[in-house]
Amino acid sequence: MCGLCGVLETSAERAAVLREAITRMTDTLVHRGPDDQGSWVDAEAGLALGHRRLSILDLSPQGHQPMVSACGRFVLVFNGEIYNHAALRRDLGADQVWRGHSDTEVLLAWIARHGVARTLPRLNGMFAFALWDRQHRALTLARDRLGEKPLYYGWNRGRFLFGSELKALTAHPEWHGELDRDALAAYLRLSFVPAPHSIYQGIRKLQPGTFAHLESGRTEPRITAYWSAREAAEQGCAHPFAGTEAQALDALESLLRDAIGLRMQADVPLGAFLSGGIDSTAIVALMQSQSSRPVQTFSIGFHEAGFDEAPFARRLAAHLGTDHTELYVTAQDGLDTVARLPRLWDEPFADPSQIPTYLLSAMARRGVTVCLSGDGGDELFGGYSRYLWTRDTWRGLGKVPLAVRRAMARAVLRVGTPTWDRLLRPLGRFLPGPLAINNPGDRLHKAVDVLTGESPEALYLRMLSHWKDPAAIVIGAREPVTVLTDPALRAHTGSITESMMFMDSLLYLPDDILVKVDRASMAVSLEARVPLLDHRVFEFAWSLPLHWKVRGRVGKLPLRQICERYCPPALFERPKMGFGIPLEHWLRGPLRDWAEALLAPARLRADGILHPEPIRLLWEEHLAGRRNWSYYLWDVLMFQAWLDATPRWSSVGAGG
């Protein structure tokens, strides 16, 4: 795992100027690659490439980057892992001369012989890379199929900048940043900035499964897709698995075993995250079954009730025979992390599980350099409870006219949550699960707000949304479309549940889950690998009929059945807890003064970006305990904290 960056000027530039700029940019990525650094400058072309290396395969100097091809034509900076590099090496034949055994060298040799367009579909890995063609003076940027590794790019003050993280771009001596208010509006709805947008105007995220080619004299790169999640999903639904359910399960286990085995290749210590849930249990069980010694596993626990998964992981580790380590996190540990978040993520990012993910990564890094993670199982196999809730809710709601539902919602919302609490708490044992809690009034208000959607997709959008009308919060903004709001971007899957799974695979998975895992792990120089996102697993999962994955109110059936081959169900069958923190209570307690300073009306008005009134209303209701607005408020707080932590900020700009 590594970090890359670069700059391309529109004309020749002095080598010293380019070297100074690329050094400053590269230095910001030391956490992604503490083991080595390098740069390469073509002053006549106005190009500079920078690289920081975390040595995983071929720890020798032969893996140094930037790497020049044997023919001398291509120069490569690469971030990630090509898991099938050994097979690709063999395919090039015995006459190929090798300097070392790194996957970077294999990738470069394949490109030199076959070109980028023919090489990318052959790769099994997570990666982002920048390739300079010295002969044609052309730059190519590429990203893996599902977006495990990040890559930002764009024009800024007449020069083309690119890098693994935004901090590398903003470190250029001539950087001038302008806030993209439209992207900010999308962020307030989703809690992350969706690709291809970034928080800065003119700077974009390269979409997963694509490569960008910028030729000399062109002002914009040409974007080409070499793989499509939409096509994979539609092909799977149109051509389902031909065998029996039992045969499909055997095929999936075999495929997962191979995907995990490929990701266990490393010349450094390797382990796995173990939460005790289904996904991580399946990964660790299949790791341990093909390891000659105990796999190192890591879990994190909280003392607060309802947030502690450590006991489940501990019992599973004992059963599987892993070498297990756990860390119990105090509130102070979490609070101490808050100040670091804006610089770790570089743009507003408000998934609160970023805190335990970072702490877990820091603990694991003390023992290993590579960790396998179970992310992706919910999106591929229908594991989120929101899929079941939306499906079942729409079956009933769809029969009720929208006007009637809206009238009912207005009636419920006229009664305050404290009143509903007094009415519903005595009935707790008779109420459905979501209302049988301490604050049923708050849940009821949120539920009726969601129930006014005119379609199942609209229902899902409202349930996922934090701020329901974020463009009304951000001054001068127009919210951009996403797969959640534009039907033209969705796959034709044939069911509500699969539609939601696809939308999450295209949006939530790459732009929230994988961003969280990448930044949290890379912040401590830990490489995280995700076997469930092997593209072969993705394609196979979409070929399975939905009723093999979700039956009644139970999802992820194939993964559950694989787990049962290695563990008693009692060890992993439990309600999904998520990976959160007690944010609601922290904002009323130890984080209150910090939040109050960031949400002060005078501060918000002086910034001129957000309307203070709706934000203050939610803050006051939250402090009074009338509603739990913690997630809405965390969105605003992470943006405000990002503003404070962005010293090279130049202009707040206007919406475009």
User: What CATH code is carried by the domain that includes residue 169?
Assistant: 3.60.20.10
Q: Pick the catalytic residue: 2, 5, 563, 567?
A: 2
Q: Is the pLDDT of residue 616 over 60?
A: yes
Residue 461 domain-assigned (yes or no): yes
- Residue 144 shares a structural domain with residue 9: yes
Question: Which residues fall in the annotated binding site?
Answer: 103, 300, 373-374
**Do residues 80 and 105 lie in contact, with contact meaning Cβ atoms separated by under 8 Å?**
no
Q: How confident is the model at residue 430 (pLDDT cuts 50, 70, 90)?
A: low
Q: Is the pLDDT of residue 322 over 50?
A: yes
Q: At what angle do helices 630-644 and 181-190 cross, to 10 degrees?
A: 140
- Whole-number Å distance between alpha carbons of 373 and 297: 10
The verdict on whether omega for the bond into residue 356 sits within 30 degrees of 0, i.e. cis, is no
Residue 29 domain-assigned (yes or no): yes
Worst-scoring range by mean pLDDT, 3-17, 245-259, 431-445, 513-527?
431-445
- Residue 63 shares a structural domain with residue 170: yes
| Per-residue pLDDT, 58 | 67
- Domain end marker among 546, 571, 596: 571
| Per-residue pLDDT, 55 | 81
User: Which among 3, 48, 46, 42 is positioned nearest to 22, based on CA atoms?
Assistant: 48
| Per-residue pLDDT, 656 | 38
Please report how many Cα atoms fall inside a 13 Å half-sphere around the Cα of residue 645, on the Cβ side: 19
- Residue 36 shares a structural domain with residue 157: yes
> Which of left, alpha, beta for 227 (phi over 0: left; psi -120 to 50: alpha)?
beta
| Per-residue pLDDT, 428 | 57
199 SS3 class: coil
- Domain end marker among 227, 243, 270: 227
- Residue 377 shares a structural domain with residue 390: no
The verdict on whether 2 is a catalytic residue reads yes
Residue 199 domain-assigned (yes or no): yes
Q: At what angle do helices 535-543 and 229-238 cross, to 10 degrees?
A: 40
- Residue 355 shares a structural domain with residue 219: no
- Residue 487 shares a structural domain with residue 606: no
| Per-residue pLDDT, 580 | 65
Question: Which residues fall in the annotated binding site for L-glutamine?
Answer: 103
- Domain end marker among 530, 551, 571: 571
How many of the other CB atoms lie within 10 Å of CB of 145?
Answer: 27
Q: Is the pLDDT of residue 449 over 80?
A: no
Residues above pLDDT 70, as percent of the chain: 93
| Per-residue pLDDT, 286 | 98
Token representation of residue 547: 């009723």
- Residue 206 shares a structural domain with residue 340: no
| Per-residue pLDDT, 631 | 94
Split into its structural domains, the chain has a count of 4
Residue 656 domain-assigned (yes or no): no
Question: Which residues fall in the annotated binding site for ATP?
Answer: 300, 373-374
Q: What is the mean pLDDT of residues 407-430?
A: 75
17 SS3 class: helix
- Residue 212 shares a structural domain with residue 110: yes
Residue 577 domain-assigned (yes or no): no
Q: What is the mean pLDDT of residues 522-533?
A: 97
- Residue 399 shares a structural domain with residue 483: yes
Q: What is the mean pLDDT of residues 473-502?
A: 95
| Per-residue pLDDT, 423 | 80
Q: How confident is the model at residue 653 (pLDDT cuts 50, 70, 90)?
A: very low
- Whole-number Å distance between alpha carbons of 651 and 291: 54
Average model confidence (pLDDT) for the chain? 91
Residue 576 domain-assigned (yes or no): no
Q: Which helix (H) or strand (E) holds 78?
A: strand 74-82
| Per-residue pLDDT, 305 | 63
Q: How confident is the model at residue 647 (pLDDT cuts 50, 70, 90)?
A: low
Q: Is the pLDDT of residue 202 over 50?
A: yes
Query: Which residues span the domain enclosing 458?
Result: 385-494
Q: Provide CB contacts within 8 A for 528, sequence distance 6+.
A: 273, 361, 370, 371, 372, 373, 517, 518, 521
Tens of pLDDT along 41-56?
999 999 999 999 988 8
**Do residues 49 and 77 lie in contact, with contact meaning Cβ atoms separated by under 8 Å?**
yes
| Per-residue pLDDT, 633 | 97
| Per-residue pLDDT, 78 | 96
Displacement of CA 461 from its chain's centroid (Å): 19
Furthest C-alpha separation in the chain: 80
Place of tokens 């329901």: 468
E-strand stretches of 556-605: none
- Whole-number Å distance between alpha carbons of 450 and 462: 5
Residue 578 domain-assigned (yes or no): no
Q: What is the mean pLDDT of residues 68-90?
A: 96
- For the chain, the straight-line distance linking the first and the last C-alpha, in angstroms and rounded, comes to 36
- Residue 317 shares a structural domain with residue 252: yes
Burial 214-242 (b: 16+ CB within 10 A, else e): beeeeeebeeeebbbbbebbbebbeeebe
| Per-residue pLDDT, 439 | 65
User: Which among 535, 529, 554, 460 is positioned nearest to 236, based on CA atoms?
Assistant: 535
The verdict on whether omega for the bond into residue 470 sits within 30 degrees of 0, i.e. cis, is no
Worst-scoring range by mean pLDDT, 214-218, 382-386, 548-552, 608-612?
214-218
Q: What is the mean pLDDT of residues 292-301?
A: 93
- Whole-number Å distance between alpha carbons of 261 and 291: 9
- Residue 254 shares a structural domain with residue 211: no
- Residue 26 shares a structural domain with residue 91: yes
| Per-residue pLDDT, 550 | 96
- Whole-number Å distance between alpha carbons of 26 and 65: 12
By DSSP bridging, strand 74-82 and strand 67-68 are antiparallel
Q: How confident is the model at residue 13 (pLDDT cuts 50, 70, 90)?
A: confident
Worst-scoring range by mean pLDDT, 178-182, 402-406, 597-601?
402-406
